[in-house]
Amino acid sequence: MTATKKKKKENDKCGYRKEIVSAAFELMLEKGYEDTGIQDILSKIGVTKGCIYYYFKSKKDIAAAVIEEVIKPHYQSVWGDFYKSGDPLEALCSTIDKIFDSGAERLSKTGCPLGNLIIEMSAKDAVLANHIKDVITLWRGFLESGFKKAQKKGIISKDCNIPAISDFIIASFEGCIMMSKSNQSKETLKNCFDLLKKYISSLYAG
């Protein structure tokens, strides 16, 4: 067996792809994409470079996997069902409450994984920007579905501009987390989320 074939066989047995992506996610959340290096990932999970490069050609490929395999499924899980509720506005406010209750400590320290990438990479790398955009499009789709259902049931006015409202909620949600990270304060996050929920409640018709 040649050295190349032997190396490929060893790498094929690596079995650390999930751990690589998970470690990269945690490191990027803590340090950002630019300051996270391949060596940081190696040190965190104790694998060889060959193991990483068997699965990924570059750090960019790892970041793309983080977005597609960690961040996007999280948004699917958190936001994907609220629009099925009988009252999507109430369910949306409840979703925001659950996010605060389960993640306020982390969010106020490290920020939002998606938001951090938007700020850091959207204007720097077209490939990663497209992956980020895909998550935002998915998220916006869930919001629009909820508001369309609410509009159909007469919960909100037929005059509501659903795409604009959806974009505003995404921007406000991410802004809330950004400010809480800047202040390193759960209280800031709570206050901002409370105002966002008041806006959502103001959409009720009549």
pLDDT of residue 13: 55
Q: Which residues contact 165 (CB under 8 A, 6 or more apart)?
A: 143, 147, 203
pLDDT of residue 6: 43
Q: Provide the mean pLDDT of the chain.
A: 92
Per-residue pLDDT at 95 exceeds 80: yes
> 36 and 24 in contact (C-beta within 8 Å)?
yes
pLDDT of residue 123: 85
Per-residue pLDDT at 10 exceeds 70: no
> 135 and 75 in contact (C-beta within 8 Å)?
yes
pLDDT of residue 5: 44
Rounded to whole angstroms, the Cα distance separating 63 from 58 reads: 9
Overall pTM surpassing 0.85 (yes/no): yes
> Which residues sit opposite 204 in a β-bridge?
156
Per-residue pLDDT at 164 exceeds 60: yes
- Domains of the chain with bracketed CATH: 1-56 (1.10.10.60), 59-201 (1.10.357.10)
